[in-house]
Structure 1
Amino acid sequence: MLKVSTFVVFLSISFYIIPFKRRSFNVYVIAVSGILYFLTLLWENYVTKIVPDPYLDEVFHIPQAQAYCDGRFDIWDSKITTPPGLYILAYFKALIFQKFTKLSCDVHTLRSLNGVALLITFLYACNCRHQITQSHKDVIHTAFNIALFPPLFFFSGLFYTDVVSVCSVLIAYKLVLDRKKGLDNHYNTLSLLIASIISLTIRQTNIFWMTIFLGAIDLVNALELEEIQPGKPLQYSYGRLNNTPLSQANLL
């Protein structure tokens, strides 16, 4: 019952943050989200049934998360090479759910965190794709493919950084796409900064996605806004970036 209510509340909040204009499309997204959430629950329960104890790198991640859940932030396993973002999320999740269950940081509950993260990943993938194409079928198909990508879906049943990491990158990617729609304001800039910092606290290799990838997209968007319209005379400038057509480009 707790998982069902969590899913309903989560969807309500998600569609307030990521609204779609067509109500029929919202219905499809809710339906596919329900299917995805059901699949993640089945997978996580199956994994926990077969492997109830920490598995692979979980022998490092789970004890560290449990230490954070107990408020022992001074404890750190030197064998862990990732930042503490995942464990901090586990701590806040424990604060929320400790009123409903005493097992707020057991193996099963910690693993279920990635199930929620995969659902958020699906919703943000829908939104990002929707800003690129207006085909609703393509939007849901692409987002569902991302969520069911074998390595990603596999780790949704374990307490690993992979799913939360992808989710954080998509959140930042959506904010960059919003800037292209003209939502380039102080709120968007601050949100993008916070999302990027959170992403880096989850996995340090996200530095590529937060700087090179998203930075390049933002640069291309800026160049497109400065694109010279056909028929206008060419101009010379110094210290500016220009998206000059290849036929007009030269070294001078």
Structure 2
Amino acid sequence: MKKTIGGAALLVLLATAAQAQIAPGTILLGGTMRYSAQSREGTLANTDQTVKLAQTNQFTISPTVGYFLSENLAVGLNLSYSHLKTTDYQYIVAVPVSGSGLGSVIKNGRIESKGPSFSVGPVARYYAFVGEKAAFFGQLGAGFWGDRTESKPEDVLVGSPSSARSTGSGYYAQLAPGFVFFPTPKFGLEVSLQGLMYQRGESKTEITSSIQPKPVSQESTNSSFAAGLGLSNLQIGAAFYLGR
């Protein structure tokens, strides 16, 4: 009796898994979105006052188009656009004339850096179902990226911080994990992480100031590797599975 029940349950699971697959010829239309805001505080030297040192805000949107070549395997194209804004706050510590005791903090303006970045490249995505309405997936992608950033001082009281403009471009490779829930067979709600990301490229920066009005150019080649597996790298998305 137990063997009969166990066999029946196994057949039900196999039938459910078979129904849950994504068939060849299905078209994937979807994308993810992420917004993050971070601030950094600290205590200045010779003071007991905690102040905001920096604030960072970033918005990213990444649409994806794909075609299922075989069961649960899709290939396609991924685009990504991001806008980053960072504010570094500047302060002056007024030391007492006597040279002893704690100094007072005076705001000395801020330096704002902001600009867009983008990437484009082919992707491959494979789904592993854990039920009729849920699946884990892994997405492998590579391609080209570019960015532009401008930095300039605002409301500065003392001194003359430099302004800068930089541009960069290069290539990337990424392996990202994700999870999708299907309220209906043709629509999925996704959560994913940045995953493993490698980037390499070249950048050029032009710096100007009141002391050096003629721009000074700096060029560099750099590479980076990041493992974005924390909650701060969480992305929320949705996708349509046309023809499923």
Scaled by the length of structure 1, the TM-score of the pair is 0.18
Q: Which has the larger radius of gyration?
A: 2
Name the TM-score, length of structure 2 as normaliser: 0.19
Q: Give the number of the structure whose residues are more often strand, by fraction.
A: 2
